[in-house]
Chain A
Amino acid sequence: MAAAPDFEVAKLTGEITVPKLREGAMAGIKSFNANEKIQAPLGYPGELVEDWHDRAIGKMGELLKKYRSLQVFMDACVHCGACTDKCHYYIGTSDPKNMPVARQELMRQVYRRYFTFAGKYFPKLVGAKDLSKEILDDWYSYYYQCSECRRCSVYCPYGIDTAEITMAGREILDSVGIGQKYSNEILGKLHRIGNNLGLPGPAILDTLEGLEEDVLDDTGIPVKFPLDVEGAEVLLVTPSADFFSEPHVESLIGYAKVFHAAGISWTLSTKASEAGNFGLFIGSYENMRKGALRIRDAALELGVKRIVVGECGHAWRVAYSFWNTLTGVGAGAAEDDEFARKLQAQLDPSVPQPSHICEFTYDLLKRGVIKADKSKNDHRVITFHDSCNVSRASRMGDMPGGQFIIPREVIKMVANNFQDMAPGTTHEATFCCGGGGGLLTDDLMEVRVKGAQPRMEAFKDVVDSKKVNFLALICAICKAQFTKVLPYYGYNMGMVGGVHQLVSTAIELPGLGAGPVEEEADEAETEATAAGDE
């Protein structure tokens, strides 16, 4: 199926095993560097600066003061090894530097040397090292082999989150002129144009009009895809991949049908045409804030009462956990906090701000405002992949763990056949798709394919034993990653789709019974069902 890769792809067994370590297995792997044109708009030098050593140490000192996480995590690790077998990149590559603690140690060795008594006076004893170009190389290589998925932080007795260290590492690298082309180019597009794909307003409008026609043809119902409508009730902020990529767009159709069926006025926005925010990936508070402020501005301009976020993992983390901090989208601002109050006075306090589209749809389904004909999804046996950032860095609903329950409930309310993957690979223990955190680029294909292995093993298990033929996702990156990676493991990429693609299939649209109009968008998966595995 896929072009023969120039690296070995493991044969799946359906079980996850921890490999013996192979030093240097992934040492040569480096994604392309960003050039001056990409770096400058983000506020970073375009190439390695002359005084890189002092600047890097200076930056590290600054970050240690700004982030308690970094300071505590640098000190607290006891090398207990509990995290060593928890990273999908270690499991998939067996390179010891992909063990979370070893990834941290790349920075800790430098931290010790410059910031601790023991490292200053007894470097050999505690493994402290002077910062060198070789170490910077190692950082670049291994901090871009971490998807910032936080799986390690679940298992560490002190909650040490390697993602925090990876982010700091990337921020230091950027500040001395070593940036990653993929992430930084995309972030530049977000700042310049308003979305990661760099789609200008007219292109979005064009796409949305096309979708309206498609849905009308399919269903006979004039479902609208409004753009920049002032005074709409809801602003939907979704990853721009939803406008153009397959299978993403099927979920966008699903959201539109939900709004239509519920009779709630809504709008997309050209200014806020991106939920994703790669500022998170490179650990840059300023860039993340700048990207997020677009949503605030759009919400104020359009005068919406509610902000709903489409299917995207890291975007949901930024929205749920950080938007309130960065932009005031949320509730509970202090009396004298005019910046946040201005927006919060406009937003409806009776609903969570922002809401995840799954929370939104779940509520409507539960209250019977919208209805679904589950049998429409009977050709599918569905499993659900918990996205890292949703699972371990956010919540849905009003109780801890709602982020696991609500998407599954939505699936079960629109489909009859649902099967979970093995415990230990779902919920907070979920394995990353392998493409998160700024790794979703072709120049890191080997890392991506190998990093997906644990998830693929768990998937194979349910494909074999439960006849699963649909991998339901709530993340734009997961969708793109699995579409690309499934074929390496002998599966059809059409098995991948969004939760709202399932909603789209089954939802009953007003003016139409449960019956007649058959979907045509489903060809891909029918094929997938037939393809099965190897």
Chain B
Amino acid sequence: MSTLSIIYVVLFYVATLLLTVGLVRKILQYKNSPAPLKIPTTPAPMTTSGVAYRMAKEVVLFESLFKSSKWTWIFGWMFHFGMLVVLVRHLRYFVADVPGWLLAMQPFGKYAAFMMVAGLAGLWARRFLVDRVRYISTLSDHLMLALLMGIGVSGVLMTFVEHTDIVALKMFALGLVRFSPQPVPGDPILLAHLAMVALLMIIFPISKLLHAPGVFFSPTRNQVDNPRERRHLADWAAQLEK
């Protein structure tokens, strides 16, 4: 195998490892840190199932964002759900026999990439056009959008303009999954695409992308509103009563 292929194989294993270990560590940290006081933003659900419904609306519909900023909501939703469809579509590279439903969604999936890129463009434009958002934007905010945009645009190019060798790519991807590394196709757009994806995986657990696990642990959203009915006591707080 060529040096290039070895580099890419190692890159993906390292990226997967860092992503997994990093995320698991963060999730455990969130899970294990106590929430000593009841602080749901009210009105809040009074039952656990109510909380699950509230959370589902936040994660699927970005409900709070919808209340606050319609433009950010539209662009943000286009980007995330475009990305989700694109990601699901990518599954076909990682399974030998593509199931029917996955095949069926391919034609639509192709266009989700445009939705993703358009959403990103809108979000990025806000960082220049709205003075308040410009003020809070850091270099890393721009670079994050650039990275995602790079991934999206290079993907679109391969789907619609410069077709890459899909069969060879699938061999490479399956090789990774089966721990029997295969050569990576030498197409420059594909190589750039893959490198950017690996970079995204690596920075995921050390960047603001932690909002994805974070939202599930946000006490203002995931707590049940029942402080009068149940006594809620954190371990460290209970020590004060000793």
Residues of A within 8 A of B33 (CB): 64-68, 71
Please determine whether B208 and A125 come into contact, CB atoms closer than 8 angstroms: no
Residues of A within 8 A of B44 (CB): 395, 400
Taking CB atoms and an 8 Å cut-off, the chain A residues in 74-92 that contact chain B are 75-86
Chain A, residue nearest B32 (CB):
A68
Which residue, of B41, B44, B58, B131, has the highest number of chain A Cβ atoms within 10 A? B41
Please determine whether A428 and B237 come into contact, CB atoms closer than 8 angstroms: no
Known: A67-B35, A76-B210, A159-B64. A428 touches B43 (CB 8 A): yes
Give the contacting residue for B237; candidates A155, A156, A164, A325; CB below 8 A: A325
Chain B, residue nearest A80 (CB):
B72
Q: How many angstroms from the CA of A164 to the CA of B231 in the assembled complex?
A: 21
Q: How many angstroms from the CA of A20 to the CA of B43 in the assembled complex?
A: 31
Interface size on B, residues (CB 8 A): 66
Please determine whether B26 and A339 come into contact, CB atoms closer than 8 angstroms: no
- Whether a CB of chain A sits under 8 angstroms from the CB of B186 is no
Residues of A within 8 A of B143 (CB): 125
Please determine whether A153 and B41 come into contact, CB atoms closer than 8 angstroms: yes
Q: How many angstroms from the CA of A332 to the CA of B33 in the assembled complex?
A: 23
Known: A72-B30, A159-B41, A400-B43. A324 touches B132 (CB 8 A): no
Residues of B within 8 A of A391 (CB): 42
Residues of B within 8 A of A193 (CB): none
- Whether a CB of chain B sits under 8 angstroms from the CB of A101 is yes
- Whether a CB of chain B sits under 8 angstroms from the CB of A468 is no
Please determine whether A324 and B218 come into contact, CB atoms closer than 8 angstroms: no
- Whether a CB of chain B sits under 8 angstroms from the CB of A42 is no
Residues of A within 8 A of B101 (CB): none
Please determine whether B227 and A158 come into contact, CB atoms closer than 8 angstroms: no
Binds A, one of B9-17, B92-100, B133-141, B191-199: B133-141
Q: How many angstroms from the CA of A332 to the CA of B227 in the assembled complex?
A: 9
- Whether a CB of chain A sits under 8 angstroms from the CB of B170 is no
- Whether a CB of chain A sits under 8 angstroms from the CB of B236 is yes
Chain A, residue nearest B46 (CB):
A400
Interface size on A, residues (CB 8 A): 78
Give the contacting residue for B36; candidates A67, A76, A353, A404; CB below 8 A: A67
Please determine whether A66 and B236 come into contact, CB atoms closer than 8 angstroms: yes
Chain A, residue nearest B39 (CB):
A69
Q: How many angstroms from the CA of A294 to the CA of B72 in the assembled complex?
A: 47
Taking CB atoms and an 8 Å cut-off, the chain B residues in 200-220 that contact chain A are 203, 206-208, 210-211, 214-215, 217-220
Please determine whether A72 and B218 come into contact, CB atoms closer than 8 angstroms: yes
Please determine whether B42 and A117 come into contact, CB atoms closer than 8 angstroms: no
Please determine whether A155 and B64 come into contact, CB atoms closer than 8 angstroms: yes
Chain A, residue nearest B220 (CB):
A159
Residues of B within 8 A of A72 (CB): 30, 214, 217-219
**Could you mark each residue 39-51 of chain B with 1 if its beta carbon is under 8 Å from any beta carbon of chain A, else 0?**
1011111100000
- Whether a CB of chain A sits under 8 angstroms from the CB of B62 is yes
- Whether a CB of chain B sits under 8 angstroms from the CB of A263 is no
What number of residue pairs across chains A and B have CB atoms under 8 A from each other? 225
**Could you mark each residue 49-77 of chain B with 1 if its beta carbon is under 8 Å from any beta carbon of chain A, else 0?**
00000000010001011011100100010
Please determine whether B133 and A392 come into contact, CB atoms closer than 8 angstroms: no
- Whether a CB of chain A sits under 8 angstroms from the CB of B126 is yes
Please determine whether B37 and A322 come into contact, CB atoms closer than 8 angstroms: yes
**Could you mark each residue 160-172 of chain B with 1 if its beta carbon is under 8 Å from any beta carbon of chain A, else 0?**
0000000000000
Taking CB atoms and an 8 Å cut-off, the chain B residues in 223-242 that contact chain A are 225-234, 236-237, 240-241
Least Cβ distance of B133 to chain A in Å?
A: 4
Residues of A within 8 A of B225 (CB): 395, 400
Taking CB atoms and an 8 Å cut-off, the chain A residues in 239-267 that contact chain B are none
Least Cβ distance of B183 to chain A in Å?
A: 33
- Whether a CB of chain B sits under 8 angstroms from the CB of A452 is no
Q: How many angstroms from the CA of A86 to the CA of B64 in the assembled complex?
A: 12
Please determine whether A330 and B43 come into contact, CB atoms closer than 8 angstroms: no
- Whether a CB of chain A sits under 8 angstroms from the CB of B29 is yes
Residues of B within 8 A of A76 (CB): 208, 210-211, 214-215, 218
Residues of A within 8 A of B46 (CB): 399-400
Please determine whether B130 and A81 come into contact, CB atoms closer than 8 angstroms: yes
Q: How many angstroms from the CA of A173 to the CA of B219 in the assembled complex?
A: 24
Chain A, residue nearest B75 (CB):
A80
Least Cβ distance of A321 to chain B in Å?
A: 5
Give the contacting residue for A102; candidates B135, B218, B219, B230; CB below 8 A: B135
- Whether a CB of chain A sits under 8 angstroms from the CB of B38 is yes
Give the contacting residue for B43; candidates A69, A159, A395; CB below 8 A: A395
Least Cβ distance of B167 to chain A in Å?
A: 38
Please determine whether A150 and B135 come into contact, CB atoms closer than 8 angstroms: no
Question: Residues of B with Cβ closer than 8 Å to A?
Answer: 26, 29-30, 33-39, 41-46, 58, 62, 64-65, 67-69, 72, 76, 123, 126, 130-133, 135-141, 143, 203, 206-208, 210-211, 214-215, 217-221, 225-234, 236-237, 240-241
Question: Residues of A with Cβ closer than 8 Å to B?
Answer: 18, 20-21, 64-69, 71-73, 75-86, 96, 99, 101-102, 105, 116-118, 124-127, 150, 153-161, 164, 285-286, 289, 320-322, 324-325, 328, 330-334, 337, 339-340, 352-354, 391-395, 399-401, 403-404, 428
